[in-house]
Amino acid sequence: MSMILDGSTEIKRIVYDEQAIASRVKELGAKITEDFRGEELIVIGVIKGSLYFFSDLTRAIDLPIKIDMIGFGNIPDTTSKTGVVKITKDIDIDISGKHVLVVEDVIRTGLTTAYLIQNLESKKPADITLATMLLNPDRLLMTIPVKYYGFEISDSWLLGYGLDRKEVGRNLPYIAELARKE
């Protein structure tokens, strides 16, 4: 299969189709339901990449959970040429003393996830665990608590189900590998 998505983005093959994703998300939802039964759980999705995974996963968790979303971006800073990463959309729910599950689309080096964990820890939750649709364990630099993941990936360039290439392709219902044109 080869499909041109836009002028510079070419899809080489579908890595995980809709059915494979739905089935895996269902399994993860069941596992989380089992692990947090009887507990108060707050699930936090990371904008924008986790949007579809977050939406499907939270509906696969059969518990009275609370949901929220968090977003971050690079903000200019007077003390640094490169700016600093700051929360652009903070959570609205009080997480102090609660179990928190952070939902990501993909974790590679884990640096952005580490930043989020540091930020959320300052709000004194009981604990923080991580769920990600895709995980590249070989490239994980940080010691972060990834407990649930959909699929292990290698170094291929992926797109769809929340993952983008220059903001395009997030809404594809499957996860595809890109041809390395650039």
Partner 1 sequence: MAVITISRQNGSLGDELAEYLAGKLQCMLITRAYAMENFFSESDDDVSEKLSDSAKFFLSEVPGEGGLTYKDVLTQKIKKMADESDNLIVLGLGGCAMLQDREDTINIRVHAGIETRKKRIAKRYNVSLDEAESTIGIGDRKHKRFVSIVFGEDLAENKLYDITFNTDFLSVEECAAAVLALIGKKGARLKISEETQQNDSFDHQTSTPVFKNDTEAEFAKILDMYGIEWMYEPKTFPIEWDEEGNIKMAFSPDFYLPKFDLYLELTTMEQKYVTKKNRKARKVMELYPGTNVRIVYKKDFQELVERLKMFGG
Residues that bind partner 1 (CB under 8 A): 46-49, 71-74, 80-85, 108-109, 111-112, 114-115, 118, 139-144, 155, 164, 167
**For partner 1, the closer CB: 109 or 171:** 109
**For partner 1, the closer CB: 55 or 112:** 112
Q: What is the CA radius of gyration of the chain?
A: 17
Whole-number minimum distance, CB 164 to partner 1, in Å? 8
Whole-number minimum distance, CB 73 to partner 1, in Å? 6
Whole-number minimum distance, CB 63 to partner 1, in Å? 27
Cα 181 from chain centre: 25
For 180, phi then psi, to 5°, come to: -85, 85
For residues 130 and 107, what is the distance between their CA atoms, to the nearest angstrom?
10
**For partner 1, the closer CB: 93 or 168:** 168
